[in-house]
Amino acid sequence: MITDEFIRTIQSESVTIKKDEPMYLHTSFRIGGNAECFCEVKNIDALKNVIAACKSFDVPYFIIGLGSNLLVSDKGIGGVVIKLGGDFDVVEITDKNTLRCGAGVSLAGVCIYAKNNSLGGLEFAWGIPGSMGGAVYMNAGAYGGEIKDVVVSSRYLDSNGNINEINTEKHEFSYRHSFYTDKDYIILDVTLKLYPKNKNEIFYLMQDTMQRRKAKQPLNRPSAGSVFKRPEGYYAAALIEQCGLKGLSVGDAQVSEKHSGFIVNNGRASARDVMELIKKVKDAVREKTGVNLHCEIKYVE
């Protein structure tokens, strides 16, 4: 429970606090009840202070990136939702071919920055609508590339307020998984190693990636991307289609007609609608093909 004393403790010029903030405003699904307290935090000291206050007042916290892989409960999120802004929203070249990216910066922003500086290696990520922190947490990937291919180190804040740094191997990257998965660490910044490449060539590859996305994905509807992880040896979308589930809906939540791996929000879908639809899809796929589907998207409450 958030008290006035808690709010006074975290209040500073570097923290924007909104009580009862609708989470549908902060998710690509456009779904979700209110966050009890939504804080945009602009630097490390302010972040440390918020985490320390959460600990001493026994208030849970959840770190959000750009909300593009989340399904937020209709009841909302208790405690504090933290979004990184300010100092966390920067990208810079620190050394030859090396970028240091704040965890809050959008992957799109980093892709453009890399292209403008004739640095290749990130073209695969063009069109993934998340932040750098979210991309590392998820080991985001597409079209043959994954964020693990370019990360050399990252720094994070643990719940005791200590800043730690890990290098490539310690990230334990695997398919949509990293060292950070299911931990309460907050990724602060990420260092990427890219390589010199002709700007036009990068631009061409980025355009090609985007065209492939536009051709296959329902980008005109709110969604959280692929709902299910790729099961070993199969494609989730193909299994869903094979089971005749394309277009299936619960309320305004629908298995996309364009890409069966996506669930789209056709207007006023609730998290409950989406969860019910996910269950129907999982049950039908298991019954008809024997394959268990696992969610890639994160349910938060």
Ligand X SMILES: Cc1cc2nc3c(=O)[nH]c(=O)nc-3n(C[C@H](O)[C@H](O)[C@H](O)COP(=O)(O)OP(=O)(O)OC[C@H]3O[C@@H](n4cnc5c(N)ncnc54)[C@H](O)[C@@H]3O)c2cc1C
Positions annotated as catalytic residues are 176, 226, 296
151 binding ligand X? (CB under 6 A): no
71 binding ligand X? (CB under 6 A): no
Report, in angstroms and rounded to the nearest whole number, the Rg of the chain calculated over CA atoms: 20
Identity of the residue numbered 122: L
- Among 39, 54, 63, 110, the residue binding ligand X under the rule CB under 6 A is 63
Count of residues interacting with ligand X (CB under 6 A): 32
Residue environment code for 108-135, b if the CB has 16+ CB neighbours within 10 A, otherwise e? bbbbbbbbeebbbbbbbbbbbbbbbbbb
Smaller CB separation from ligand X, 200 or 211: 211
Residue environment code for 39-75, b if the CB has 16+ CB neighbours within 10 A, otherwise e? bbbbbbebbbbbbebbeebebebbbbbbbbbbbbbbe
Q: How far is the C-alpha of 239 from the C-alpha of 258, rounded, in Å?
A: 14
Given the structure tokens 């639809």, which residue do they identify?
277
Residue 10 backbone dihedrals phi, psi, to 5 degrees: -90, -10
In the shown chain, the binding pattern of residues 243 to 282 toward ligand X, with x for contact by CB under 6 A and - for none, equals ----------------------------------------
Smaller CB separation from ligand X, 198 or 207: 207
Smaller CB separation from ligand X, 265 or 270: 265
Which residues ranging from 156 to 195 are in contact with ligand X (CB under 6 A)?
180, 186-187
Question: Could you tell me where the DSSP H helices lie in 57-144?
Answer: 107-116, 132-138
61 binding ligand X? (CB under 6 A): no
110 binding ligand X? (CB under 6 A): no
137 binding ligand X? (CB under 6 A): yes
224 binding ligand X? (CB under 6 A): yes
Smaller CB separation from ligand X, 199 or 230: 230
Query: How near is the Cβ of 17 to ligand X at its closest, in Å?
Result: 19
Stretch that binds ligand X, among 13-21, 38-46, 133-141, 270-278 (CB under 6 A): 133-141
Question: Could you tell me where the DSSP H helices lie in 124-198?
Answer: 132-138
Q: How far is the C-alpha of 244 from the C-alpha of 240, rounded, in Å?
A: 7
79 binding ligand X? (CB under 6 A): no
Q: Strand, coil or helix: what is 161?
A: coil
Smaller CB separation from ligand X, 158 or 283: 158
Residues in touch with ligand X (CB under 6 A) = 28, 63-70, 84, 103, 128-131, 133-135, 137-138, 140-142, 180, 186-187, 217, 219, 223-225, 298
